[in-house]
Structure 1
Amino acid sequence: MAIIEAVRATIRRLHCSQRTEEAIVHWIRQFIRFHSGKHPPQMGAEEVTAFLNELAVARRTAASTQNQALCVLLFLYKWVLDLQIPRLEALERARRPEHLPSVLSRHETLTLLEHLVPPVRLIGELLYGSGLRLLEALSIRVQDVDLDRRQIMVRRGKGQHDRPALLPA
Protein backbone atom coordinates (compact mmCIF):
# COMPACT_ATOMS: atom_id res chain seq x y z
CA MET A 1 0.00 0.00 0.00
CA ALA A 2 1.36 3.39 -0.98
CA ILE A 3 -0.29 5.13 1.98
CA ILE A 4 1.42 2.81 4.47
CA GLU A 5 4.80 3.45 2.86
CA ALA A 6 4.20 7.20 3.08
CA VAL A 7 3.27 6.79 6.76
CA ARG A 8 6.42 4.77 7.46
CA ALA A 9 8.59 7.36 5.68
CA THR A 10 7.05 10.19 7.72
CA ILE A 11 7.48 8.29 10.99
CA ARG A 12 11.13 7.59 10.22
CA ARG A 13 11.69 11.22 9.25
CA LEU A 14 10.33 12.23 12.66
CA HIS A 15 12.61 9.65 14.39
CA CYS A 16 9.79 7.78 16.13
CA SER A 17 10.46 4.36 17.66
CA GLN A 18 9.69 1.09 15.91
CA ARG A 19 6.92 0.33 18.40
CA THR A 20 5.31 3.69 17.66
CA GLU A 21 5.53 2.93 13.95
CA GLU A 22 3.87 -0.47 14.45
CA ALA A 23 1.03 1.07 16.47
CA ILE A 24 0.40 3.84 13.95
CA VAL A 25 0.39 1.44 10.99
CA HIS A 26 -1.93 -0.93 12.90
CA TRP A 27 -4.54 1.80 13.52
CA ILE A 28 -4.37 3.11 9.95
CA ARG A 29 -4.93 -0.41 8.61
CA GLN A 30 -7.89 -0.85 11.01
CA PHE A 31 -9.33 2.46 9.78
CA ILE A 32 -8.98 1.46 6.10
CA ARG A 33 -10.41 -2.02 6.78
CA PHE A 34 -13.37 -0.54 8.65
CA HIS A 35 -14.25 1.48 5.54
CA SER A 36 -13.84 -1.50 3.18
CA GLY A 37 -10.52 -0.46 1.69
CA LYS A 38 -11.43 3.13 0.91
CA HIS A 39 -8.32 5.34 0.78
CA PRO A 40 -7.92 7.95 3.57
CA PRO A 41 -7.59 10.97 1.21
CA GLN A 42 -11.12 10.17 -0.03
CA MET A 43 -12.49 10.19 3.52
CA GLY A 44 -13.15 13.02 5.94
CA ALA A 45 -14.57 13.85 9.34
CA GLU A 46 -17.67 11.65 8.91
CA GLU A 47 -15.60 8.52 8.29
CA VAL A 48 -13.18 9.33 11.13
CA THR A 49 -16.11 9.89 13.50
CA ALA A 50 -17.80 6.65 12.39
CA PHE A 51 -14.61 4.65 13.04
CA LEU A 52 -13.99 6.21 16.47
CA ASN A 53 -17.64 5.76 17.47
CA GLU A 54 -17.39 2.10 16.43
CA LEU A 55 -14.44 1.72 18.79
CA ALA A 56 -16.22 3.41 21.69
CA VAL A 57 -19.74 2.04 21.30
CA ALA A 58 -19.70 -1.31 19.50
CA ARG A 59 -16.25 -2.58 20.47
CA ARG A 60 -16.39 -0.93 23.91
CA THR A 61 -12.70 -0.08 23.92
CA ALA A 62 -11.06 1.89 26.70
CA ALA A 63 -10.90 5.66 26.45
CA SER A 64 -7.12 5.51 26.06
CA THR A 65 -7.52 3.14 23.10
CA GLN A 66 -9.97 5.48 21.38
CA ASN A 67 -7.65 8.43 22.10
CA GLN A 68 -4.71 6.57 20.59
CA ALA A 69 -6.70 5.83 17.43
CA LEU A 70 -7.80 9.47 17.25
CA CYS A 71 -4.22 10.72 17.59
CA VAL A 72 -3.07 8.32 14.86
CA LEU A 73 -5.76 9.54 12.47
CA LEU A 74 -4.93 13.18 13.21
CA PHE A 75 -1.26 12.33 12.55
CA LEU A 76 -2.20 10.66 9.27
CA TYR A 77 -4.20 13.60 7.98
CA LYS A 78 -1.90 16.36 9.23
CA TRP A 79 1.60 14.95 8.69
CA VAL A 80 1.20 12.40 5.90
CA LEU A 81 -1.72 13.63 3.77
CA ASP A 82 -1.34 17.34 4.63
CA LEU A 83 -5.13 17.67 4.96
CA GLN A 84 -7.16 19.44 7.61
CA ILE A 85 -9.90 17.46 9.38
CA PRO A 86 -12.90 19.59 10.40
CA ARG A 87 -14.15 19.43 13.97
CA LEU A 88 -15.51 15.99 14.90
CA GLU A 89 -18.94 17.08 16.13
CA ALA A 90 -20.73 13.72 16.55
CA LEU A 91 -17.84 11.93 18.25
CA GLU A 92 -18.91 9.75 21.16
CA ARG A 93 -16.14 9.47 23.72
CA ALA A 94 -15.37 6.15 25.35
CA ARG A 95 -16.06 6.13 29.07
CA ARG A 96 -13.20 6.14 31.52
CA PRO A 97 -13.28 3.34 34.09
CA GLU A 98 -15.05 4.35 37.27
CA HIS A 99 -12.85 2.24 39.52
CA LEU A 100 -9.14 2.32 40.14
CA PRO A 101 -7.15 -0.68 38.98
CA SER A 102 -6.23 -3.09 41.74
CA VAL A 103 -2.59 -3.48 42.73
CA LEU A 104 -1.06 -6.73 43.89
CA SER A 105 0.01 -6.86 47.52
CA ARG A 106 3.64 -7.57 48.38
CA HIS A 107 2.75 -11.19 49.25
CA GLU A 108 0.81 -11.69 46.00
CA THR A 109 3.70 -10.25 43.99
CA LEU A 110 6.24 -12.54 45.65
CA THR A 111 3.96 -15.54 45.07
CA LEU A 112 3.63 -14.60 41.41
CA LEU A 113 7.41 -14.24 41.02
CA GLU A 114 7.99 -17.63 42.71
CA HIS A 115 5.84 -19.31 40.05
CA LEU A 116 7.94 -17.94 37.19
CA VAL A 117 10.73 -20.11 35.79
CA PRO A 118 14.18 -18.82 34.79
CA PRO A 119 15.01 -16.73 32.78
CA VAL A 120 11.49 -15.25 32.85
CA ARG A 121 11.72 -14.99 36.65
CA LEU A 122 14.83 -12.81 36.44
CA ILE A 123 13.07 -10.50 33.99
CA GLY A 124 10.01 -10.33 36.27
CA GLU A 125 12.19 -9.52 39.28
CA LEU A 126 13.94 -6.77 37.30
CA LEU A 127 10.60 -5.29 36.23
CA TYR A 128 9.33 -5.35 39.81
CA GLY A 129 12.49 -4.24 41.59
CA SER A 130 13.86 -1.61 39.23
CA GLY A 131 10.81 -0.19 37.47
CA LEU A 132 12.13 -1.09 34.01
CA ARG A 133 9.82 -1.38 31.04
CA LEU A 134 9.64 -4.81 29.39
CA LEU A 135 11.72 -3.95 26.31
CA GLU A 136 14.28 -2.17 28.49
CA ALA A 137 14.70 -5.28 30.64
CA LEU A 138 14.99 -7.51 27.57
CA SER A 139 17.73 -5.35 26.03
CA ILE A 140 20.07 -5.15 29.04
CA ARG A 141 23.63 -6.20 28.29
CA VAL A 142 26.33 -7.26 30.75
CA GLN A 143 28.24 -3.99 30.34
CA ASP A 144 25.09 -2.07 31.35
CA VAL A 145 25.11 -3.59 34.86
CA ASP A 146 27.23 -1.84 37.53
CA LEU A 147 27.28 -4.05 40.63
CA ASP A 148 29.41 -1.59 42.67
CA ARG A 149 26.90 1.24 42.24
CA ARG A 150 23.93 -1.16 42.15
CA GLN A 151 22.53 0.36 39.01
CA ILE A 152 21.61 -0.62 35.48
CA MET A 153 22.24 1.74 32.58
CA VAL A 154 19.18 1.72 30.35
CA ARG A 155 20.28 2.48 26.79
CA ARG A 156 17.87 4.11 24.33
CA GLY A 157 14.83 3.67 26.57
CA LYS A 158 11.54 5.45 26.04
CA GLY A 159 12.18 8.60 24.07
CA GLN A 160 15.56 7.22 22.96
CA HIS A 161 17.24 8.53 26.13
CA ASP A 162 19.84 6.80 28.29
CA ARG A 163 19.11 6.71 32.02
CA PRO A 164 20.28 4.87 35.12
CA ALA A 165 17.91 2.52 36.95
CA LEU A 166 18.23 0.82 40.33
CA LEU A 167 19.62 -2.71 40.44
CA PRO A 168 17.47 -4.50 43.01
CA ALA A 169 19.11 -6.85 45.50
Structure 2
Amino acid sequence: MLRADVTEAIRAAVFEELAAVGFARMSIEGIARRAGVGKTAVYRRWKSKLSLVLDLLTAFAADGLPAPATGSLYGDVRALLEVAAHALRHPVASQVIPDLLVEAARHPEITDAVRGVLLDGQRGVVASVVRDAVARGELAEGADPDRALDLVVGPLYWRLVVVRDARLPEGYLDDLAAAAVAALRA
Protein backbone atom coordinates (compact mmCIF):
# COMPACT_ATOMS: atom_id res chain seq x y z
CA MET A 1 0.00 0.00 0.00
CA LEU A 2 1.30 3.45 -0.95
CA ARG A 3 1.75 5.94 1.88
CA ALA A 4 -0.38 9.06 1.46
CA ASP A 5 2.21 11.32 3.10
CA VAL A 6 4.84 10.23 0.57
CA THR A 7 2.43 10.79 -2.32
CA GLU A 8 1.67 14.31 -1.04
CA ALA A 9 5.38 15.08 -0.62
CA ILE A 10 5.97 14.01 -4.21
CA ARG A 11 3.09 16.13 -5.48
CA ALA A 12 4.41 19.19 -3.64
CA ALA A 13 7.89 18.50 -4.99
CA VAL A 14 6.57 18.39 -8.56
CA PHE A 15 5.18 21.91 -8.32
CA GLU A 16 8.40 23.17 -6.74
CA GLU A 17 10.50 21.46 -9.40
CA LEU A 18 8.31 22.79 -12.22
CA ALA A 19 8.63 26.31 -10.86
CA ALA A 20 12.39 25.98 -10.41
CA VAL A 21 13.49 24.27 -13.63
CA GLY A 22 10.45 23.92 -15.91
CA PHE A 23 8.94 20.82 -17.45
CA ALA A 24 11.68 20.19 -20.00
CA ARG A 25 14.47 20.13 -17.38
CA MET A 26 12.36 18.52 -14.65
CA SER A 27 13.48 15.00 -13.74
CA ILE A 28 12.20 12.18 -11.59
CA GLU A 29 15.53 12.35 -9.76
CA GLY A 30 15.00 16.04 -8.95
CA ILE A 31 11.44 15.42 -7.81
CA ALA A 32 12.53 12.53 -5.58
CA ARG A 33 15.35 14.62 -4.08
CA ARG A 34 12.95 17.50 -3.28
CA ALA A 35 10.40 15.09 -1.80
CA GLY A 36 13.04 13.32 0.28
CA VAL A 37 12.25 9.92 -1.25
CA GLY A 38 13.89 7.50 -3.64
CA LYS A 39 13.11 7.44 -7.36
CA THR A 40 11.30 4.13 -6.91
CA ALA A 41 8.73 5.84 -4.68
CA VAL A 42 7.89 8.13 -7.60
CA TYR A 43 7.88 5.34 -10.19
CA ARG A 44 5.56 3.21 -8.01
CA ARG A 45 2.96 5.94 -8.43
CA TRP A 46 3.64 7.29 -11.94
CA LYS A 47 5.42 5.80 -14.96
CA SER A 48 6.95 9.07 -16.20
CA LYS A 49 7.22 12.77 -15.49
CA LEU A 50 4.57 13.43 -18.14
CA SER A 51 2.08 11.04 -16.51
CA LEU A 52 2.89 12.61 -13.13
CA VAL A 53 2.24 16.16 -14.31
CA LEU A 54 -0.91 15.12 -16.19
CA ASP A 55 -2.25 13.38 -13.09
CA LEU A 56 -1.59 16.45 -10.94
CA LEU A 57 -3.20 18.81 -13.43
CA THR A 58 -6.24 16.57 -13.72
CA ALA A 59 -6.57 16.37 -9.93
CA PHE A 60 -6.21 20.14 -9.67
CA ALA A 61 -8.94 20.64 -12.29
CA ALA A 62 -11.25 18.23 -10.49
CA ASP A 63 -10.95 20.25 -7.28
CA GLY A 64 -12.24 23.29 -9.12
CA LEU A 65 -13.22 26.60 -7.65
CA PRO A 66 -16.60 27.38 -6.14
CA ALA A 67 -18.65 29.91 -8.06
CA PRO A 68 -18.97 33.21 -6.21
CA ALA A 69 -22.46 34.09 -5.00
CA THR A 70 -22.32 37.74 -3.96
CA GLY A 71 -25.83 38.52 -5.16
CA SER A 72 -24.80 40.77 -8.05
CA LEU A 73 -23.09 40.34 -11.40
CA TYR A 74 -20.52 43.01 -10.57
CA GLY A 75 -19.77 41.37 -7.20
CA ASP A 76 -19.39 37.93 -8.76
CA VAL A 77 -17.14 39.23 -11.54
CA ARG A 78 -15.04 41.18 -9.05
CA ALA A 79 -14.70 38.07 -6.85
CA LEU A 80 -13.63 35.99 -9.87
CA LEU A 81 -11.01 38.58 -10.76
CA GLU A 82 -9.68 38.64 -7.20
CA VAL A 83 -9.27 34.85 -7.12
CA ALA A 84 -7.73 34.76 -10.61
CA ALA A 85 -5.31 37.60 -9.83
CA HIS A 86 -4.22 35.89 -6.64
CA ALA A 87 -3.72 32.55 -8.42
CA LEU A 88 -1.88 34.02 -11.42
CA ARG A 89 0.48 36.04 -9.18
CA HIS A 90 1.31 33.05 -7.00
CA PRO A 91 5.07 32.41 -7.36
CA VAL A 92 4.62 28.78 -8.42
CA ALA A 93 1.68 29.39 -10.78
CA SER A 94 3.40 32.36 -12.41
CA GLN A 95 6.30 30.07 -13.34
CA VAL A 96 4.41 26.84 -14.05
CA ILE A 97 1.53 28.09 -16.22
CA PRO A 98 3.65 29.76 -18.94
CA ASP A 99 6.01 26.77 -19.01
CA LEU A 100 3.15 24.30 -19.37
CA LEU A 101 1.65 26.36 -22.18
CA VAL A 102 4.94 26.09 -24.07
CA GLU A 103 5.12 22.35 -23.41
CA ALA A 104 1.50 21.95 -24.53
CA ALA A 105 2.63 22.85 -28.04
CA ARG A 106 4.94 19.80 -27.94
CA HIS A 107 2.72 17.35 -26.03
CA PRO A 108 -0.98 17.09 -26.98
CA GLU A 109 -1.62 15.29 -23.68
CA ILE A 110 -0.52 18.39 -21.81
CA THR A 111 -2.79 20.51 -24.00
CA ASP A 112 -5.80 18.49 -22.85
CA ALA A 113 -4.79 18.66 -19.19
CA VAL A 114 -4.02 22.39 -19.32
CA ARG A 115 -7.35 22.98 -21.03
CA GLY A 116 -9.01 21.07 -18.22
CA VAL A 117 -7.30 23.18 -15.58
CA LEU A 118 -7.37 26.59 -17.22
CA LEU A 119 -10.47 26.47 -19.36
CA ASP A 120 -12.99 23.85 -18.37
CA GLY A 121 -12.91 24.62 -14.66
CA GLN A 122 -13.23 28.35 -15.22
CA ARG A 123 -15.89 27.79 -17.86
CA GLY A 124 -18.10 26.02 -15.31
CA VAL A 125 -17.66 28.75 -12.72
CA VAL A 126 -18.42 31.54 -15.20
CA ALA A 127 -21.42 29.63 -16.57
CA SER A 128 -22.82 29.58 -13.04
CA VAL A 129 -22.21 33.33 -12.64
CA VAL A 130 -23.96 34.02 -15.97
CA ARG A 131 -26.89 31.73 -15.07
CA ASP A 132 -27.35 33.54 -11.76
CA ALA A 133 -27.13 36.96 -13.44
CA VAL A 134 -29.75 35.94 -16.01
CA ALA A 135 -32.02 34.68 -13.22
CA ARG A 136 -31.66 38.03 -11.41
CA GLY A 137 -32.41 39.93 -14.63
CA GLU A 138 -28.91 41.46 -14.82
CA LEU A 139 -28.13 39.78 -18.15
CA ALA A 140 -30.35 38.91 -21.07
CA GLU A 141 -31.50 35.36 -21.61
CA GLY A 142 -28.97 33.56 -23.81
CA ALA A 143 -25.93 35.43 -22.48
CA ASP A 144 -22.83 33.53 -23.62
CA PRO A 145 -20.67 32.15 -20.77
CA ASP A 146 -17.68 31.68 -23.10
CA ARG A 147 -17.81 35.36 -24.07
CA ALA A 148 -18.10 36.21 -20.39
CA LEU A 149 -15.02 34.13 -19.58
CA ASP A 150 -13.05 35.89 -22.32
CA LEU A 151 -14.15 39.33 -21.14
CA VAL A 152 -13.61 38.70 -17.44
CA VAL A 153 -10.38 36.72 -17.26
CA GLY A 154 -8.81 37.46 -20.66
CA PRO A 155 -7.47 40.95 -19.89
CA LEU A 156 -6.11 39.87 -16.52
CA TYR A 157 -4.46 36.78 -18.02
CA TRP A 158 -2.92 38.94 -20.74
CA ARG A 159 -1.44 41.33 -18.21
CA LEU A 160 -0.20 38.81 -15.64
CA VAL A 161 0.83 35.83 -17.79
CA VAL A 162 1.63 37.13 -21.26
CA VAL A 163 3.03 40.60 -20.50
CA ARG A 164 4.17 39.41 -17.03
CA ASP A 165 3.36 42.69 -15.30
CA ALA A 166 2.21 41.70 -11.81
CA ARG A 167 1.82 45.32 -10.72
CA LEU A 168 -1.89 46.01 -10.62
CA PRO A 169 -2.64 49.68 -10.00
CA GLU A 170 -5.02 50.52 -7.19
CA GLY A 171 -8.59 50.03 -8.38
CA TYR A 172 -7.52 47.98 -11.42
CA LEU A 173 -9.66 44.96 -10.55
CA ASP A 174 -12.64 47.23 -9.75
CA ASP A 175 -12.30 48.98 -13.11
CA LEU A 176 -11.81 45.70 -14.95
CA ALA A 177 -14.89 44.22 -13.29
CA ALA A 178 -16.98 47.28 -14.22
CA ALA A 179 -15.74 47.16 -17.83
CA ALA A 180 -16.44 43.43 -18.12
CA VAL A 181 -19.96 43.84 -16.70
CA ALA A 182 -20.66 46.74 -19.10
CA ALA A 183 -19.43 44.66 -22.04
CA LEU A 184 -21.56 41.69 -20.97
CA ARG A 185 -24.65 43.88 -20.74
CA ALA A 186 -24.02 45.49 -24.16
TM-score (norm 1): 0.25
Structure (1 or 2) with the greater helix fraction = 2
Decide which structure has greater strand share.
Answer: 1
Question: If you compute each CA radius of gyration, which structure gives the higher value, 1 or 2?
Answer: 1
Q: Which has the higher contact order (CA 8 A, sep 6+)?
A: 2
TM-score by length of 2: 0.23
